[in-house]
Structure 1
Amino acid sequence: MISKEYTILAPEGIHARPATALVRLVKKFKSGISLKKDDKTIQLNSMLNILALSTKGGDVVSVVIDGEDEIEAASAVDVFFNEQLSTL
């Protein structure tokens, strides 16, 4: 299991466009991937789940990845949160 915290740098947070991109990204992997904000944890398999977290710029979230391809998934999620999220 891999767990990592990210601070959302995009001022708009995770809105519909990046939520869709994140769901598409995690569906490429067999590992279970979840997102935690405060005391709420969701599976990253639905855009509605992500939008329900109401993640804004400056929020800290944790991503938990568990499964056979967790290292590759963690690398892809890291690129998403550190490089792609602010451009979507």
Structure 2
Amino acid sequence: MPQRTATIASRVGLHARPAAIFAEAAGELRCEVTIAHAGEPADEAMDAASILSLMSLGASHGDVVILRAEGEGADQALDTLVKILETDHDAK
């Protein structure tokens, strides 16, 4: 199963607007994607397309997360999602 590491770039962490942008992108994919804090067991990973899961993850600015995907286009999907997480969506 492909996986990628990403560092949360948004100043407010993965909350509100950044979480909505990420969940929408993950929900449009043909593969299933999970997200977890780095170092957590894979079986504790959450559904990356669920805004509620993302909010409960509590990922803050600078936190490192692991994305895992399974299914069609998994590698490309992960690359796209990493870019979203490593962009500060709160920059003005």
Identify the TM-score tier after normalising by the shorter chain: 0.7 to 0.9
Query: Gapped runs of 5+ residues in structure 2?
Result: none
Counting only pairs closer than 5 Å after superposition, residues 1-88 of structure 1 correspond to structure 2 as 1-37=1-37, 38-39=39-40, 40-83=44-87, 86-88=88-90
The one-letter code matched in structure 2 to 1:87 is H
Query: Gapped runs of 5+ residues in structure 1?
Result: none
TM-score, length basis structure 1: 0.85
Preserved contact between residue 29 and residue 77 of structure 2 (Cα < 8 Å): yes
Give the percent of matched residue pairs that are identical in Structure 1 and Structure 2: 22
Q: In angstroms, what is the RMSD of aligned CA positions?
A: 1.5
The one-letter code matched in structure 1 to 2:63 is D
In the alignment, the residues of structure 2 paired with residue 60 and residue 43 of structure 1 have an alpha-carbon distance, to the nearest angstrom, of 17
Following superposition, the deviation at residue 8 of structure 1 comes to 1.3
Instruction: Please identify runs of 4+ aligned residues in structure 1 that moved more than 4 A.
Output: none
User: Aligned to 2:24, what secondary structure does the other structure show?
Assistant: helix
Following superposition, the deviation at residue 87 of structure 1 comes to 2.2
Following superposition, the deviation at residue 71 of structure 1 comes to 2.6
Task: Give the length in aligned residue pairs.
Answer: 86
What whole-Å deviation, never above 9, does each CA across 1:46-77 have from its counterpart, x for those lacking one? Answer: 11100001111121100001111213312321
TM-score, length basis structure 2: 0.81
